[in-house]
């Protein structure tokens, strides 16, 4: 499912990937047409995280729910996937215990990360930051030119992350992004 994002008065179809620790934000993202929702709540103990994932699964509608880092929680809750930070175990190794159709995404911050994610069997990558971002002010942005060049070297779908807004989302798609990933991005959707 692709959401319709208004850019310059024209609605464009864009695949959206929401990253959140809130069932309310997940519901909003689902209403906006997000195809995937990643539950990222690093500080929660296992039981609380399982409860949150269960709540987000109820709020997600047709969106596929992925859990950040915790395969055990993803499987126990019946989530549709897992999102791995860079330098995690290879997705191909984890697939030995996941059900058919289970998605595994990877966070990437360099061309080497992208190539490793592809080689190790990730279904997609989230790559950034593309632009300066409030959540990681010290992280140097890739910029659109580097993002585009790096994305062309791999065949797996790559979602643009970091400083992406409804106003610049189309430039990310034009640069080769399979979609837009974000946290604050969903605060800007109307």
Domain ranges of the chain: 3-187
Residue 189 in tokens: 């959707």
Burial (CB < 10 A; 0-12, 13-18, 19+), residue 24, is exposed
Place of tokens 């798609």: 173
CB 123 within 8 A of CB 161: no
Whether residue 4 has pLDDT greater than 70: no
State the angle between helix axes of 144-151 and 111-119 in degrees (0 to 180), rounded to the nearest 10.
30
Share the mean pLDDT of the chain.
91
The CATH number of the domain covering residues in 3-187: 3.20.20.70
Query: Average of pLDDT values for 156-178?
Result: 95
Confidence of residue 14 (pLDDT cuts 50, 70, 90): confident
Tell me how far apart the alpha carbons of residues 110 and 185 are, in angstroms, rounded to a whole number: 22
Residue 79 in tokens: 């989530």
**107 — phi, psi (to 5°)?**
-80, 135
- pLDDT score for 136: 78
Whether residue 6 has pLDDT greater than 80: no
Helix (H, G, I), strand (E, B) or coil at 117: helix
Whether residue 139 has pLDDT greater than 80: yes
Place of tokens 């039981």: 47
Provide the strand spans (E) within the chain.
3-7, 10-14, 16-20, 36-39, 64-68, 81-84, 103-108, 124-127, 158-160, 179-182
Confidence of residue 86 (pLDDT cuts 50, 70, 90): confident
Higher pLDDT, 86 or 172: 172
- pLDDT score for 3: 54
Whether residue 58 has pLDDT greater than 60: yes
């Amino acid at each position: 499912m692709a959401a319709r994002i208004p850019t310059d008065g024209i609605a464009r179809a864009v695949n959206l990937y929401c990253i959140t620790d809130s069932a309310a934000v997940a519901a909003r993202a689902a209403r906006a047409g997000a195809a995937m929702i990643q539950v990222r709540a690093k500080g929660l103990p296992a039981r609380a995280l399982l409860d949150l994932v269960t709540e987000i699964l109820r709020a997600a509608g047709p969106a596929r729910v992925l859990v950040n880092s915790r395969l055990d929680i993803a499987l126990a809750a019946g989530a549709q996937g897992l999102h791995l930070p860079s330098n995690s175990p290879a997705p191909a190794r984890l697939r030995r215990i996941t059900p058919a159709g289970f998605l595994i995404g990877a966070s990437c911050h360099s061309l080497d990360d992208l190539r490793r994610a592809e080689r190790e069997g990730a279904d997609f990558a989230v790559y950034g930051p593309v632009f300066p971002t409030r959540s990681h002010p010290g992280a140097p942005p890739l910029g659109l030119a580097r993002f585009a060049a790096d994305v062309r070297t791999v065949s797996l779908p790559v979602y643009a992350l970091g400083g992406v807004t409804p106003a610049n989302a189309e430039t990310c798609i034009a640069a080769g992004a399979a979609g837009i990933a974000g946290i604050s991005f969903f605060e800007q959707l109307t």
